[in-house]
Amino acid sequence: MNKFFSIQFIAGAVALCVVLVPFEKASAQIKSEDAKMNTFVSGLMVKMTLDEKIGQLNLVTIGAATTGSVVNKGVEEKMKQGAIGGVFGIWGVKNTREIQDIAVKNTRLHIPLIFGLDVIHGQHTIFPIPLGMSATWDLGLIKQSAQIAAKEATAEGLNWVYSPMVDIARDPRWGRISEGSGEDPWYGGQVAKAMIHGYQGSSMKSNDAVMACVKHFALYGGAEAGREYNTVDMSRIKMYQDYLPPYKAAVDAGAGSFMSSFNTVDGIPATGNQWLLTDVLRKQWGFKGFVVSDYTAVNEMESHGLGDLQTVSALALKAGLDMDMVGEGFLLTLKKSLAQGKVTRAEIDLACRRVLEAKYKLGLFDNPYKSMDEAKESKEVLSAENRTAARNISKHSFVLLKNDAQTLPLKKGGSIALVGPLADNQRDMLGTWVVAGEWQKSISVMQGIKNLVGDNVKINYAKGANITDDAAFMERLNYFGQQLVTLDKKPVDELIEDAVDAAKKSDVIVAVVGESQSMSGESSSRSDIDIPESQKNMLKALAKLGKPLVIVLFNGRPLTLTWEDAHASAILDVWAPGTEAGNAIADVLFGDYNPAGKITATFPRSVGQIPIYYNHKNTGRPYTSGPTKFKSNYLDISNDPLYPFGYGLSYTTFSYGDVKLSKTKLKGNETLTATVTVSNTGKYAGEEVVQLYISDPVASISRSVKELKNFKKISLQPGEQKEVSFAITTEDLKFYNTQLKYDWEPGGFIVQIGTNSRDTHQASVWWGK
């Protein structure tokens, strides 16, 4: 051993020890924590009757139904008997304390309840809908939103949130595309991790941490025809390659719980699917938490055709489901099933143990009232600090889809016609899933503009259109008898005339249009994803004036915007931005912040192109450009989307240099560095999301045309340029082969770097074993 080597060796060994010792310490600590938990839970379970154990598997909702018609009855009585393990649907220290009191003071074993809620994009301070949040491409901000949500939720006595939703969605007809991170499996996994780390922190025992519940396991986003609750059917290889990765990433990130989905997987409802809940989730991925069903999903297995309530409840338990949400199939039938030998005591014990372990991990046995603190509640909920963070996060989520002749940013002077049904509107700022969110506290676009520019800009306001004029559609939007969308007293033509009059008096038109709150989200599938006709008619009348027309677009899904793209001067997609909507929109419209968001779901030209996503497979007759006979295309429309995945403009412009590779031939475990120079060639400082894609043109199976592998978000001053490098290893080349083995195959690869999935620069590399 030469001197240099031995010094290196010693240094390496020391470094290894430095790394290993804390690692060993940490893993020993985890083991001893686990041992403590086992002893505690085992000790408790010895004292529990069979009924009490089954009670722990029962999750009830208190108060109003949220997403189904079934509501639990006799909750207090059941609670006293120990027949309830957790509740959801209530929040606030006063409420949660009152309920926890029943469990802790009035039951035989004083086992605390777990309190859950659909905290999806904020508790009271509402952030952009998840699809918008994902458009930030900023994992730090995404994590921050989850941390704040956790702080507000815990301040209200909650300890369990039904988020993140990590379902890959490639069909914008499906209303729940709004609740996820779009179409890409790798990026979906990154967002899932950031959310889970934000919610759970480093210890779920902390007063500010909640347990995440990853949903909906699995493949819910693959619902046929984009129709809610519909059948899903796909090959195993597609599951593993494209749909399962974000759930797996969530397990790797330490998610405490999972929610099973409503749909079937390989013909068996997910809620009773042993392959999914046990073989994949626990045996292959090593998940250690508990699985709850979706709302009455156990009961719904009856409609799926799997048998009566007793049969499906037994099936679900045996499959690996631990907690039954709302339907009480477990409560009503498991004892009988045990007596008849249809389930075993060990299966009931295992599910009960997992639920008790979750409570243990949350520290509820140490302090069942852990975060129920009025002082924290009044300090934390909707605090100025949280609202400031929300404003910042919202503006980062906006995507500039079009900006002809630098229409945006607007001048802080002159006059604007502010028109559209969403312009002076607070309710629809929040978007879907805001159970505790208060729309009365949100900032309308009109208010936000006034807050920013005061009297410097003259605002000529007109509503201009109803959200929709279609009575039948409106009735469905106003579900559960709510008045979410109403018709204006004025006739439709007069509304449009008002908007045109306002526009005539103004330098520029800002039309705030799109989807209202209940138009996307659960049970909000649409077969037509245009901006509703009522609003489009207003836009058409305005476009005729030939004045600059800026569309501020609210949407819970990609919409078909072919007409708008051809006729508007600028389109700013703001999704549903949350509590600080108006302030954040004003920041961007008037250039205080330069938009940098990029879409995470492809925008089609027409619904006929759906499903449409960037990482599709090639065909044997690949599309080139324009409709050609006997190629894989349509006769009447191009295959290209209107806006591709990863797309989004800026007030400035960026140019990309060639892709430079550190090597063009590599072997095995070597690392490749791919570098590109990005320059800000415009007049504004701006941020750019530099995206790395890899293609694997020859393999043992037909591969996607390209796949996102990494990204970096950079800031550049006007005239500034930066080198952006990505380290690429064989991990980035891996895929699931026909044996479902995750591996890479030697050969040629194309490395692509660019501003979106379509516009990239590329270089080739050969990678041998």
Helix 329-339 vs helix 345-361: crossing angle, to nearest 10: 140
Among 45, 66, 631, 662, binds ligand BGC (CB under 6 A): 66
Q: Give the Å distances, CA to CA, from 541 to 493, 500, 514, 534, 755.
A: 10, 7, 16, 11, 34
Task: Check if the beta carbon of residue 700 is closer than 8 Å to that of residue 712.
Answer: no
Closer to ligand BGC by Cβ: residue 129 or 585: 129
230 binds ligand BGC (CB under 6 A): no
Smallest distance, Å, CB 59 to ligand BGC?
A: 9
| Shortest CB 344 distance to ligand BGC, Å | 29
Site string for ligand BGC, 74-103 (x = CB under 6 A): ------------------------------
d(CA 759, CA 607): 23
653 binds ligand BGC (CB under 6 A): no
By CB under 6 A, tell whether 67 contacts ligand BGC: yes
Among 258, 295, 473, 767, binds ligand BGC (CB under 6 A): 295
Q: Tell me the closest approach of the beta carbon of residue 175 to ligand BGC, in angstroms.
A: 11
CA distance 630 to 622: 10
294 binds ligand BGC (CB under 6 A): yes
49-65 as b/e: b if 16+ CB within 10 A: eeebbbbbbbbbbbeee
Q: How far is the CB of 119 from ligand BGC (least distance, A)?
A: 10
Give the total residue count for the chain: 769
Residue 118 touches ligand BGC, criterion: CB under 6 A: yes
> Would you say 327 or 597 has its CB closer to ligand BGC?
327
* 121 is a contact residue toward ligand BGC (CB under 6 A): no
Per-residue mark of binding to ligand BGC, 670-709 (x: CB under 6 A): ----------------------------------------
Q: Which is nearer to ligand BGC, 270 or 462 (CB)?
A: 270
Closest separation between CB of residue 247 and ligand BGC, Å?
14
Which candidate in 118, 171, 294, 428 is catalytic? 294
Query: Is residue 493 flagged as an active site residue?
Result: no
Of 626, 628, 645, 583, give the one whose Cα is nearest residue 172: 645
Q: Does 328 bind ligand BGC (CB under 6 A)?
A: no
Main-chain dihedrals φ then ψ at residue 725, nearest 5 degrees: -120, 145
- Looking at beta carbons only, is 213 or 538 nearer to ligand BGC? 213
Nearest distance from C-beta of residue 68 to ligand BGC, angstroms: 6
Tell me the DSSP string of 710-736: EEEEEEE-TT-EEEEEEEE-GGGG-EE
| Residue placing its CB nearer to ligand BGC in the complex, 324 or 696 | 324
Min dist CB 264 to ligand BGC, Å, is 15
Pick from 255, 259, 276: nearest CA to 267: 276
How far is it, in rounded angstroms, from Cα 617 to Cα 609? Answer: 15
CA gap 201, 205 in Å, rounded: 9
Residues 181 and 129: their CA atoms lie apart, in Å, by: 10
Instruction: Compare residues 48 and 576 and give the one whose CB is closer to ligand BGC.
Output: 576
- What number of other Cβ atoms are within 10 A of residue 739's Cβ? 9
**Backbone angles phi and psi of 420, in degrees to 5:** 110, 155
C-alpha to C-alpha distance for 6 and 1, rounded to whole angstroms: 6
Q: Which is nearer to ligand BGC, 162 or 575 (CB)?
A: 162
Residue 413 contacts residue 505 (beta carbons within 8 Å):
no
CB proximity list for 532: less than 8 A, separation 6 or greater = 467, 468, 469, 470, 473, 515
Residue 738 and residue 238: Cα distance in Å, rounded?
10
CB nearer to ligand BGC: pick between 220 and 749: 220
Residue showing tokens 């030209």: 605
Residues in the interface with ligand BGC (CB under 6 A) total 8
Minimum gap (Å) between residue 116 Cβ and ligand BGC: 8
Closest by Cα among 495, 410, 510, 422 to 460: 510
Question: Within 10 Å of residue 117's Cβ, how many Cβ atoms?
Answer: 26
Nearer to ligand BGC, 213 or 586 (CB): 213
With 0-12 / 13-18 / 19 or more C-beta atoms within 10 angstroms meaning exposed / middle / buried, residue 74 is exposed
CB atoms within 10 A of CB 469: 17
Contact 768, 665 (CB under 8 A): yes
d(CA 622, CA 632): 6
**Can the peptide bond before residue 218 be classed as cis, meaning omega within 30 degrees of 0?**
yes
Q: Which residues are bridge partners to 402 per DSSP? A: 571
Tokens of 531: 């901006």
Q: How far is the CB of 427 from ligand BGC (least distance, A)?
A: 20
Applying CB under 6 A, does 215 fall inside the site for ligand BGC?
yes
Nearer to ligand BGC, 88 or 645 (CB): 88
Between residues 259 and 553, which has the closer beta carbon with respect to ligand BGC?
259
Q: What is the C-alpha separation between 139 and 215, in angstroms, rounded?
A: 19
CA nearest 608: which of 24, 172, 93?
172
Closest approach of ligand BGC to the CB of residue 468, in Å: 24
The residue nearest ligand BGC at its CB is: 67
Between 162 and 656, name the residue whose CB sits nearer to ligand BGC. 162
* Residue 300 binds to ligand BGC (criterion: CB under 6 A): no
**Residue 248: CB minimum distance to ligand BGC, A:** 20
User: Please, which residue, 66 or 230, has the CB nearer to ligand BGC?
Assistant: 66
**Minimum distance between the CB of residue 435 and ligand BGC, rounded to whole angstroms?**
8
List 300, 498, 522, 732, residue binding ligand BGC (CB under 6 A): 522
Give the CA dihedral 219, 224, 230, 235, nearest 10 degrees.
-40
**Segment 526-531 long-range contacts (CB within 8 Å, at least 24 positions apart):** 526/173, 526/175, 526/557, 527/173, 527/607, 528/607, 529/172, 529/173, 529/557, 529/558, 529/559, 529/560, 529/604, 529/607, 530/559, 530/560, 531/559, 531/561, 531/564
Q: How far is the CB of 176 from ligand BGC (least distance, A)?
A: 8
Q: Do residues 183 and 601 touch, judged by C-beta distance below 8 A?
A: yes
- Of residues 138 through 197, those in contact with ligand BGC by CB under 6 A are 162
The amino acid that residue 747 corresponds to is G
Residues that bind ligand BGC (CB under 6 A): 66-67, 118, 162, 215, 294-295, 522
Which sequence positions are flagged as catalytic?
A: 294
